[in-house]
Amino acid sequence: MPYIMVDIESDGPIPGDFSMICFGAVIVEPELNRTFYGKLKPISDQYLPDALAVSGFTRDECLAFDEPQQVMEQFHKWLSSNCRGRTMFISDNNGFDWQFINWYFHHYIGKNPFGFSSTNLGSLYKGMQKDTFVNFKHLRKTKHTHDPVDDARGNAEALLQMKEMGLKISFS
């Protein structure tokens, strides 16, 4: 089952009332060269300046981004052309990232190709280590920049490192 590492940036805490500004996805495999990046026009007039600032974009820049329908269709096609069978959504903070991707897929495509579940990278590492106080972030090679492709790649590197440490997982 292909694992797709995803990272999103938003202008607020929840989808619908606020907008997903951009997201990145990386297919978890040794090369980490199959990536997707989308920048989405806001769907709401509401935004929190501090949340938007994390993305590095201004509101005016976001207003010129692509229509969400178009980006989600492109992401769906990218997933279909790069993955066979069921895909697994995984992220550093799946409670946050998943809610946006799931909402946008259901709203704009009518279904979520990831199904109804996701995996949290941090929780997976805590379980491996049998310690709820440990953090996986030292396993990243790519610097965490809030560019969602960089961040997804760094998290995918951590997952690959976890496999090297003995995690039983298959990426095919």
Catalytic residues: 146
Question: For position 74, what pLDDT does the model report?
Answer: 98
Tens digits of residue pLDDT in 110-128 = 999 999 999 999 999 999 9
Mean local confidence (pLDDT), 2-18:
98
Residue 137 has pLDDT above 90, yes or no: yes
- What are φ and ψ of residue 85, in 5° steps? 75, -160
Residue 106 has pLDDT above 90, yes or no: yes
- CA quadruple 88, 151, 21, 99: dihedral sign: positive
Tens digits of residue pLDDT in 55-104 = 999 999 999 999 999 999 999 999 999 999 999 999 999 999 999 999 99
Question: For position 1, what pLDDT does the model report?
Answer: 87
Q: Which two tokens stand for residue 42?
A: 């806001």
Contacting residues for 103 by C-beta, under 8 A, at least 6 apart: 15, 16
E-only strand ranges, the chain:
3-10, 20-27, 35-39, 88-91, 118-120
Domains of the chain listed by start with CATH number? 3-164 (3.30.420.10)
- What are φ and ψ of residue 133, in 5° steps? -100, -5
Residue 19 has pLDDT above 90, yes or no: yes
- What are φ and ψ of residue 150, in 5° steps? -60, -45
Mean local confidence (pLDDT), 11-27:
98
Contacting residues for 119 by C-beta, under 8 A, at least 6 apart: 3, 88, 89, 90, 91, 94
